[in-house]
Amino acid sequence: MVVPHHATGARLARHRLADELADVVPAALLADLVAVLAELVGNAVRHADPLPGGVVRVAWRLHPAARGQRVQLRVTDGGSASGPLLRAATPDSVDGRGLHIVSGLASRWGVDRDGLGQSVWAEFEPVASPRPDLIAAG
């Protein structure tokens, strides 16, 4: 999907992701996906140039895995001079925690660059659900 290179782009992307994956992935995973997508789109808007037309491209892909769905999120923008970096944030810092959130929630993340811009991606491995027969009765 294509969203505006504006703060409203993150909101539009979050809502669309939540609507499309609500019945596909567990609620806890969906919450992590929504949080990471918001960070990635927010970072693209704050720190990178837009793609032609003043937009950011957002995509997600599901890959079947033995324990559920592996999910990849990808946000493509026009790039920036320095690229995405983990920054040290003090307790009083107003920003600088976004990629730490991405790193903490995603299984892995990275950046792909080409002549048109950059894509920041995050992947989430499925978490095995507890077997009902192993849950203790209360």
Q: Is 64 a member of any domain?
A: yes
- Per-residue pLDDT, averaged over 49-56, amounts to 96
- C-alpha triplet 77, 79, 84: angle, nearest 5°: 100
Range of the domain at 48: 2-127
Q: Is 99 a member of any domain?
A: yes
List the one residue out of 57, 14, 31 whose CA is nearest residue 127: 31
Domain count, the chain: 1
- C-alpha–C-alpha distance, residues 52 and 25, integer Å: 33
Residue, of 84 and 6, whose pLDDT is higher: 6
Residue 72 has pLDDT above 90, yes or no: yes
Q: Whats the size of the chain, residue-wise? A: 138
Q: Which DSSP symbol is given to 130? A: P
**SS3 of residue 59 by DSSP:** strand
- Per-residue pLDDT, averaged over 60-72, amounts to 87
* Predicted structure pTM score: 0.83
- Per-residue pLDDT, averaged over 31-55, amounts to 95
Q: What is the pLDDT of residue 12?
A: 97
